[in-house]
Amino acid sequence: MIFFITVLRALAALLITNAHYVGVYPIEIIANGGLLGDVIFFGVSGFCLVNIKQGFFQWYRKRVIRIYPTVWLITTIYILLGFYSLKYWSLAEYYFYPTYYHFVGSIIVLYIAFYVVVKTKVLLNNIPRLMVCLFMIELIIYIFIYDKSTYHIDTVREPMIRFLFFQSMLLGAYFRINKERFMDSNRIMNWVALLLTFIAYFGSKLTFVKFDQLSDYQIINQVILIGLLYFVFKSFAGIDTRLEKLPNKIKGIIAFVSSITLEIYMVQYVIIPKFSTIVFPLNWIVITFVIVLSAYLLHVISQAIIKSIERIINKKSNSRGYTI
């Protein structure tokens, strides 16, 4: 098991959740880091999914089954409790596409493009060049079509963001293919570069937010973010063995958070505003506890449903001579 990926998945969940704690902290700027969490999550997905052995329909069906029952379960619960309204979203939008959860709407589309890359040898062997080509296409759209009047390039529900998410998946795949070069290759310069790109990313973000006259150049923010993601992977891959040697209790906590990242992401939208008015830091403690507990319960129930669906499909598939 490559433990640094477990660490990064847990880290992504923490960053995304922290960014949604608006109204929780006494200083709003602390509630930040969501897009960084998103790209780490997509990078981890690319890393984990690069070794595809199945045909497209079998593989894609498996991915859908691993995501949608959880979406359907939590969406149904929140609709029945009155937290989600049908006034602005239809049932098809809630349950199928794009769903209330932007991650699902993006990943379910990007899975298709990712499969094409993995199964096309010339693309898989030239991921850096492919990423440059994709950026060139994005740049053309950005220059001639994109609305640059205000800073909004990090808005996760805009289609443009999927260029960034897909490039993150490809970068994760690149690290998996070339993991021998990066695993346990710990260098101080990797961490220095990580720190500098981290400062540059959040510095550029704050600059674009504050100075609207610079919004024509906001795509720089995405370029820096991809560089930051590169050094996140490079730095954490370089200490994989050290992470493996962490005390079992700490590793257990990390693995637990990593195992319920999807559920953490889905339950939090309702929970955070419900308890944010409690005085800080009690509100943070209560919200975090309720999110983790709710995510765990959702995980247990949804996994039982997913396993039942997989058993039914496997039974039908085996009778036809193939497996899921």
DSSP per residue, 160-176: THHHHHHHHHHHHHHHH
pTM of the model: 0.94
Rg (CA), the chain: 20
Identity (one letter) of the amino acid at 276? Answer: S
Which tens digit of pLDDT belongs to each residue from 54-77?
A: 999 999 999 999 999 999 999 999
Place of tokens 């769903």: 99
Q: What is the DSSP letter of 279?
A: P
What three-state secondary structure class fits 56?
helix
Which tens digit of pLDDT belongs to each residue from 247-285?
A: 999 999 999 999 999 999 999 999 999 999 999 999 999
Output the pLDDT for position 212: 87
pLDDT tops 90 at residue 321: no
Which tens digit of pLDDT belongs to each residue from 27-39?
A: 988 999 999 999 9
Angle between helical axes of 219-237 and 161-177 (0-180°, round to 10): 20
Q: How many helices (H) and strands (E) does the chain have?
A: 15, 0
As a whole number, the mean pLDDT across the chain is 94
Output the pLDDT for position 303: 96
> What does the alpha-carbon distance between residue 201 and residue 146 come to, in Å, rounded to a whole number?
21
Read off the pLDDT of each residue in 301-319 and give the average, rounded to a whole number.
88
Token representation of residue 122: 């010339």
Contacts of 212 (CB under 8 A, 6+ apart): 149, 150, 151
Contact 25, 281 (CB under 8 A): no
Which tens digit of pLDDT belongs to each residue from 120-150?
A: 999 999 999 999 999 999 999 999 999 999 9
Read off the pLDDT of each residue in 11-37 and give the average, rounded to a whole number.
94
Q: What is the DSSP letter of 145?
A: T
CA–CA distances in Å: residue 310 to residues 44, 141, 291: 24, 41, 27
Output the pLDDT for position 1: 60
Tell me how many domains the chain contains: 1
Place of tokens 């021998």: 180
Contacts of 240 (CB under 8 A, 6+ apart): 2, 3, 4, 183, 184
Contact 13, 45 (CB under 8 A): no
Output the pLDDT for position 320: 64
Structural domain of 107: 3-320
Q: pLDDT band at residue 315, thresholds of 50, 70 and 90?
A: confident
The number of beta carbons lying within 10 Å of the beta carbon of residue 80 is 9
